[in-house]
């Protein structure tokens, strides 16, 4: 017993242990003392973050800390299950990120979840989620990773269930689809165990050389594809993305901001990086598949996002679209592309978490998620507005924010691919065009959001909340932190690229191609890393110039202001008939020949694998049920038939 | 006197008590002591079964019949029998404690307890029997008690289910009897060890042996509710009172179906390739068809019943894969892995399916319906029951760290290692479908808003029912983490018996 306790409380396990135990305590007192759960969540997430940072500070990439505890050695067969953890650079990024986001969410939900029916449980599940995520990040074998992975899935289900209205439907769909991902991962574990020299606890440690997919044959391809599906479903790439938009509408904001926006991206892309870099070396075919998935995801999801009027749904489609960049970057297999994809994972977690938090604050202020019914919040919620603006600029890839840097790296990755593999000249260009175009559409849809929620005049025809919305420290503080992170990582990307991301990509990442890019080349910017310094100065000069111009022009007030005169009426800003809802322009997309059809099908769930399999599965179930008529003679006939078939099989088999 | 002398009491004590209850019921005031005595009996049995763990017990010849005789009562208290006995008595104790509160609204509770003990005692006898005919007799006692218990409520639906169960169960018993008869005619023995030894000499490829094998497989597969022999189960299990549903799904189909199948295939006929293929086919069919039928159900107990078909499919599939590996002389550790997974899943299923049936009974009693669409919002109104129900659901769905996750993982890994990646994929698919169908249960029964008056006014179940469910919930939560001690003390000895194949019972040879 002491041995187990000592194992659980050593530094490498401390974040996970703290979170899991804290969650258990919170679950125990949830019914009676929700306020204590609130404080507990705050304290435990902060402690877990500190513990994770302590591991990271002591981390030496050359000699990673490893702990192992053989759990099932005594049973004399192949299955030796070991609880092994190892601090790897990338895994630590996931663990620290999970804890940091959990802390921010704990702060935010201090107010946002206060008084909700399930408040105590919310905090318990939040802590358990963190525990599962840290386990995934630090897992040194696939068995441990699988356990942490599924804990996160279950917690997502339980958290989504706490939403309003028909949240159960979205939660069920999310659990169903992520359960599919878990089943895929489980099967992949089994297939890897059956490979020669394999075991159920397939080591993820750095020491183990990756296996060549092509050398492993069909089993290798199958295992790779299964892990790929699991990673993509968690991260939310097409075609296994549909749980995110479905869950978004009714789920609590804090849940959306923590899991689908931030944590599921970290975990999904982390697994994608593991399977591509550490478990296998992918073949060219698999790389093309990944890049195609990435490109399609970017474009298809952003078009769907533009059509949404519900802020949460809009953000969730963007959460899908942005995954495309990460998958595309990692799929290129070039050092710069992979680094860009991983960096985009971090950046996306930051700005999308912030955007969801913004949507939650806006919802509190207006009582709605419909962008057409918002408006005029810029004055009431200035901090939220500025943070939302920064994040929207970041997601749209506007320099000098972090989203731009990582997208830039991904663009460079596609170009690098074209340079190294000139046999497919069209491919790199096509990918680049898709990626840039997707970025432009993202910007277009966020212009709508920002205008609608903050800048447009508030609609007069709907009842307003009695009190004027005000900023709240607990709601605003996490957003400020995240917005500052967007700016800092945009201006100084090397704080993360140099020490963390570039070293975590093994040198032999590019399959069959000469490795042109070296670590030094990336960090010094020789390979087209966007050098933030001069450009930022230029941008700042431009912004300052614009402000100066505004100031000057406002001083020289020699302008004659005339009220417009329209069709016999003088429009006044207080008259709703002259208010142009920000959503109208986007309706035109619905009427475009090609895109319109796409959107039409998309909204009718034609691309939804969950919907599709539910329909066909239902047919199968009904067919089976129709055979069970309840007729006793029929059932006896089945038994006799079964016996006969068994006998005939045995006779034939022995006779042959 | 060592504990091994008490082995026969596992079967004799409950059987005797059952008949005593009939007498007591006709004595003034006697009915009042029946429930207490029943609980004590089952508890004593559980203590005895637990005490036997780790004790080396040779073949026991009851009533002075010696070794080498054709006729006789021989008990075989080996690792497999002990494992089954612990499982049976554990579930029986929890069920009967639950029944103390649950059966209050029924009349003739003494009859319930008499039948319950008859069934439990017969199951104990069945797993201890070292003789094919004794096994058949206990099989029949357990079956007849269960027919009566299924119809215990005496409503039209329950009687119809009991009748169907009776007819199909008898068909199965007839198959088994034919099989045993042929084996007896061929070998001149009824003792399993001696039949196995004789068969090893004459070979198992003759048409008569094959007919016997087919009849035994068919009959026992019917008891285990393998597709296509499963049709009685979805009627019978939901109709019984909840503690009986828990017993039927939790242990009866395992003792009289899966255990007997394993014993006959591994220890009597000896694992060979065609038998293994039949087992794998039965297992895979049941696993897939059972889960698809379960997904379509709106009756909570019927949904659980179909899941029993599906989950038993896992166990039989794992046994079949192990037999297949053993038959071709393959890697013994791989076969051991499959067997470990199968037996562990059997134990886990006993825990979580009993838990689910008990909680479904609690929900039914409080809400007044088994229809999922008429429940809703019960997580708030019945927190303890809902918590236990959720633990059971997460266990059967294979979510870590609950016990079902580990056994499914081991089975799937074992299947892949045994060279059946397609079956492993099917098993993973079925795990997903199980999860989906329990998401449905959560969504409609526990979450959301009450869909009817019953759900809106439901109150927490009585204390004893809560205690019974909580015990099983603790086993479900701790079962996975306690896999190592469980494996060392219960599963490994049981696995060794099956791994030894036709050699396992040679101790009884004179």
Please report the pLDDT score of residue A239 as a whole number: 84
- The CA distances from residue B286 to A69, A571, B226, B319, B351, in Å, are 37, 72, 5, 14, 20
Nearest to A190 among B416, B440, B448 (CB): B416
How many of the other CB atoms lie within 10 Å of CB of A554?
9
- pLDDT grade for A517, boundaries at 50, 70 and 90: very low
pLDDT over 50 at A475, yes or no: yes
**A175–B439 C-beta distance less than 8 A:** yes
**B274–A654 C-beta distance less than 8 A:** yes
Please report the pLDDT score of residue A586 as a whole number: 64
| Spans of all domains in chain B | 3-508
Indicate the pTM of the whole model.
Answer: 0.91
Nearest to A639 among B168, B383, B410 (CB): B168
Identify whether the C-beta of residue A344 lies closer than 8 Å to the C-beta of residue A406: yes
Stronger pLDDT, A128 or A143, i.e. the higher one: A128
Element (H, E) at B6: none
**B275–A632 C-beta distance less than 8 A:** no
Average pLDDT over residues B156-185: 94
Nearest to A147 among B400, B415, B492 (CB): B400
Q: Quick check: A628 contacting B, CB < 8 Å?
A: yes
- pLDDT digits 0-9 by tens, B34-52: 999 999 999 999 999 999 9
**B292–A168 C-beta distance less than 8 A:** no
State whether the Cα torsion A149-B482-B244-B144 is positive or negative.
positive
Please report the pLDDT score of residue B117 as a whole number: 96
**B210–A654 C-beta distance less than 8 A:** yes
Give the percent of chain A with pLDDT over 70. Answer: 83
Interface test with A, best of B399, B419, B445, B490 (most A CBs within 10 A): B399
Stronger pLDDT, A552 or A125, i.e. the higher one: A125
pLDDT over 60 at A545, yes or no: yes
Residue A177, preceding peptide bond in cis (omega within 30° of 0): no
Instruction: Name the β-bridge partners of A370.
Output: A310
- pLDDT grade for A205, boundaries at 50, 70 and 90: confident
Q: What angle do CA B63, B66, B72 make, to 5 degrees?
A: 60
Average pLDDT over residues A456-475: 74
- pLDDT digits 0-9 by tens, B187-222: 988 999 999 999 988 888 888 999 999 999 999 999
Please report the pLDDT score of residue A226 as a whole number: 94
Query: Among A128-142, A394-408, B119-133, B274-288, where is mean pLDDT lowest?
Result: A394-408
Minimum distance, in Å, between the CA of residue A626 and any CA atom of chain B: 10
pLDDT over 50 at A628, yes or no: yes
pLDDT over 50 at A244, yes or no: yes
**What part of A 385-404 touches B (C-beta under 8 Å)?**
none
**What part of A 62-81 touches B (C-beta under 8 Å)?**
71-72, 74-79
Q: What angle do CA A367, A373, A376 make, to 5 degrees?
A: 90
pLDDT over 70 at B382, yes or no: yes
Average pLDDT over residues B390-400: 92
pLDDT over 80 at B269, yes or no: yes
Give the percent of chain B with pLDDT over 90. Answer: 68
Query: Considering only alpha carbons, which residue of chain B is nearest residue A638?
Result: B228
pLDDT over 80 at A397, yes or no: yes
pLDDT over 60 at A513, yes or no: no
Please report the pLDDT score of residue B429 as a whole number: 94
Q: Share the mean pLDDT of chain B.
A: 91
**A200–B409 C-beta distance less than 8 A:** yes
pLDDT over 80 at A69, yes or no: no
Residue numbers in A near B415 (CB within 8 A): 190
Distance CA A11, CA A150 (A): 23
Please report the pLDDT score of residue B433 as a whole number: 93
pLDDT over 90 at A140, yes or no: no
Distance CA B366, CA B198 (A): 57
Highest mean pLDDT range out of A378-382, A573-577, B275-279?
Answer: B275-279
**B432–A78 C-beta distance less than 8 A:** no
pLDDT over 70 at A76, yes or no: no
Residues 6+ apart with CB under 8 A from A462: A368, A373
- pLDDT digits 0-9 by tens, A433-452: 899 889 888 988 888 888 88
Q: Share the mean pLDDT of chain A.
A: 83
pLDDT over 70 at A462, yes or no: no
Please report the pLDDT score of residue B135 as a whole number: 94
Please report the pLDDT score of residue A580 as a whole number: 58
- The CA distances from residue A232 to A92, A182, A264, A323, in Å, are 21, 11, 10, 9
pLDDT over 50 at B54, yes or no: yes
How many of the other CB atoms lie within 10 Å of CB of B160?
15
Burial label for A98, CB within 10 Å (0-12, 13-18, 19+), is buried
**A171–B400 C-beta distance less than 8 A:** no
Burial label for B185, CB within 10 Å (0-12, 13-18, 19+), is exposed
Residue numbers in B near A642 (CB within 8 A): 218, 221, 228-229
Stronger pLDDT, A434 or A593, i.e. the higher one: A434
pLDDT over 50 at A512, yes or no: no
The residue to which tokens 């600029």 are assigned: A393
Q: Quick check: A172 contacting B, CB < 8 Å?
A: yes
- pLDDT grade for A74, boundaries at 50, 70 and 90: very low
């Amino acid at each position: 017993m002491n041995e187990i306790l000592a194992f659980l409380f050593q530094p490498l396990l401390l974040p996970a242990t703290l979170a899991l135990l804290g969650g258990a305590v919170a679950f125990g007192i949830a019914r009676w003392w929700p306020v204590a759960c609130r404080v507990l969540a705050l304290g435990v997430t902060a402690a877990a973050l500190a513990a994770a940072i302590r591991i990271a500070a002591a981390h030496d990439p050359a000699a990673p800390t490893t702990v192992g505890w053989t759990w099932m050695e005594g049973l004399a067969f192949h299955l030796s299950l070991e609880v092994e953890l190892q601090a790897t650079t990338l895994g630590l990024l996931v663990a620290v990120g999970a804890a940091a986001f959990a802390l921010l969410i704990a702060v935010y939900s201090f107010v946002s979840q206060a008084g909700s029916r399930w408040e105590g449980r919310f905090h318990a599940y939040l802590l358990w989620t963190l525990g599962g995520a840290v386990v995934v990040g630090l897992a040194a074998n696939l068995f441990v990773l699988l356990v942490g992975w599924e804990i996160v899935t279950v917690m997502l289900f339980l958290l989504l269930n706490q939403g309003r209205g028909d949240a159960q439907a979205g939660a069920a769909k999310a659990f169903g689809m992520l359960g599919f991902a878990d089943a895929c991962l489980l099967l992949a574990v089994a297939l890897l165990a059956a490979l020669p020299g394999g075991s159920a606890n397939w080591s993820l440690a750095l020491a183990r050389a990756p296996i060549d997919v092509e050398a492993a044959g069909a089993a290798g391809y199958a295992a790779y594809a299964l892990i790929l599906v699991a990673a993509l479903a968690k991260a939310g790439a097409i075609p296994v993305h549909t749980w995110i938009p479905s869950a978004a509408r009714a789920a609590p904001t804090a849940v959306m901001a923590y899991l689908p926006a931030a944590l599921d991206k970290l975990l999904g892309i982390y697994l994608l990086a593991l399977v591509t870099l550490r478990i296998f070396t992918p073949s060219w075919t698999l790389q093309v598949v990944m890049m195609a998935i990435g490109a399609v995801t970017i474009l298809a999801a952003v078009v769907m996002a533009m059509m949404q009027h519900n802020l949460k749904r809009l953000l969730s489609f963007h959460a899908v679209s942005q995954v495309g960049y990460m998958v595309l970057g990692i799929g290129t297999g070039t050092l710069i592309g992979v680094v860009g994809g991983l960096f985009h994972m971090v950046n996306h977690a930051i700005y999308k978490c912030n955007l969801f938090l913004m949507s939650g604050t806006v919802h509190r202020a207006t009582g709605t998620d419909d962008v057409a019914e918002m408006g005029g919040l810029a004055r009431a919620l200035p901090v939220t507005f500025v943070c939302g603006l920064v994040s929207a600029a970041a997601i749209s890839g506007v320099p000098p924010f972090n989203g731009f840097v990582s997208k830039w790296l991904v663009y460079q990755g596609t170009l690098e691919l074209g340079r190294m593999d000139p046999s497919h000249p069209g491919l790199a260009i096509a990918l680049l065009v898709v990626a840039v175009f997707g970025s432009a559409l993202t910007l277009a849809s966020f212009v709508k959001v920002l205008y609608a929620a903050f800048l447009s005049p508030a609609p007069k025809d709907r009842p307003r909340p009695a009190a004027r919305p005000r900023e709240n420290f607990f709601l605003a503080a996490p957003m400020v932190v995240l917005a500052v992170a967007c700016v800092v990582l945009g201006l100084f990307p090397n704080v993360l690229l140099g020490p963390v991301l570039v070293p975590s990509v093994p040198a032999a990442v590019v399959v069959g191609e000469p490795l042109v890019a070296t670590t030094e080349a990336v960090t010094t910017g020789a390979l087209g890393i966007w050098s933030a310094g001069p450009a930022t100065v230029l941008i700042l000069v431009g912004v300052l110039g614009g402000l100066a111009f505004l100031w000057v022009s406002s001083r020289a007030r020699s302008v004659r202001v005339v009220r417009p005169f329209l069709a016999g009426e003088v429009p006044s800003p207080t008259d709703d008939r002259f208010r142009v809802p920000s959503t109208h322009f986007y309706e035109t997309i619905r009427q475009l020949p090609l895109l319109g059809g796409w959107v039409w099908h998309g909204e009718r769930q034609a691309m939804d694998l969950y919907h599709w399999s539910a329909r066909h599965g239902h047919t199968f179930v009904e067919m089976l049920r129709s055979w069970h008529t309840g007729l006793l003679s029929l059932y006896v006939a089945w038994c006799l038939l079964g016996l006969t078939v068994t006998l005939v099989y045995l006779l034939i088999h022995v006779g042959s | 006197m060592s504990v091994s002398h008490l082995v026969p009491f596992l079967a004799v004590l409950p059987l005797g008590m059952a008949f005593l209850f009939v007498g007591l019921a006709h004595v003034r005031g006697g009915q009042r002591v029946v429930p207490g005595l029943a609980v004590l009996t089952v508890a004593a049995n559980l203590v005895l079964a637990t005490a036997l763990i780790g004790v080396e017990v040779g073949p026991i010849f009851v009533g002075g019949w010696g070794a080498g005789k054709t006729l006789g009562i021989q008990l075989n208290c080996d690792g497999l029998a002990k494992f089954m006995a612990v499982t049976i008595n554990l579930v029986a104790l929890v069920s009967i404690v639950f029944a103390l509160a649950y059966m209050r609204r029924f009349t003739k509770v003494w009859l319930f307890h008499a039948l319950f003990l008859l069934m439990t005692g017969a199951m104990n006898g069945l797993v201890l029997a070292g003789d094919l005919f004794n096994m058949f007799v206990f099989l029949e006692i357990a079956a007849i008690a269960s027919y009566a218990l299924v119809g215990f409520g005496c409503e039209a639906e329950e009687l119809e289910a009991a009748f169907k169960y009776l007819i199909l169960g008898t068909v199965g018993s007839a198959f088994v009897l034919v099989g045993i008869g042929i084996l007896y005619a061929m070998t001149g023995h009824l003792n399993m060890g001696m039949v196995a030894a004789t068969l090893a000499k004459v070979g198992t490829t003759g048409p008569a042996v094959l007919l016997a094998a087919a009849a035994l497989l068919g009959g026992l597969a019917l008891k285990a509710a393998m597709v296509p022999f499963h049709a009685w189960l979805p009627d019978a299990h939901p109709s019984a009172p909840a503690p009986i549903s828990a017993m039927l799904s939790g242990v009866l189909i395992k003792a009289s179906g899966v255990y007997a199948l394993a014993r006959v295939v591994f220890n009597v006929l000896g694992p060979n390739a065609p038998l293994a293929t039949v087992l794998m086919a039965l297992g895979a069919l049941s696993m897939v068809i059972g889960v698809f039928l379960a997904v379509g159900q709106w009756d909570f107990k019927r949904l659980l019943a179909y899941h029993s078909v599906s989950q038993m499919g896992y166990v039989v599939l794992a046994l079949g894969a192990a037999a297949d590996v053993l038959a071709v002389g393959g890697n013994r550790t791989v076969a051991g892995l499959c067997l470990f997974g199968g037996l562990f899943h059997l134990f886990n299923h006993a825990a979580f399916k009993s838990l689910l049936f008990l909680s479904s009974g609690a929900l039914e009693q409080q809400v007044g319906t088994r229809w999922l669409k008429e429940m809703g919002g019960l997580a708030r109104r019945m927190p303890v029951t809902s918590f236990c129900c959720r633990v059971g659901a997460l266990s059967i769905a294979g979510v870590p760290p609950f016990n079902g996750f580990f056994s499914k993982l081991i089975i799937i890994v074992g299947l892949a290692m045994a060279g059946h990646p397609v079956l492993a994929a099917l098993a993973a698919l079925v795990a997903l479908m199980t999860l989906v169908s329990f998401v449905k249960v959560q969504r409609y029964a526990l979450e959301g808003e009450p869909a009817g008056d019953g759900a809106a006014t439901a109150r927490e179940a009585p204390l004893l029912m809560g205690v019974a469910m909580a015990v099983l919930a603790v086993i479900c939560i701790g079962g996975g983490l306690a896999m190592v001690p469980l494996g060392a003390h219960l599963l490994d000895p049981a696995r060794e018996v099956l791994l030894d194949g036709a050699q396992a019972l040679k101790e009884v040879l004179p």
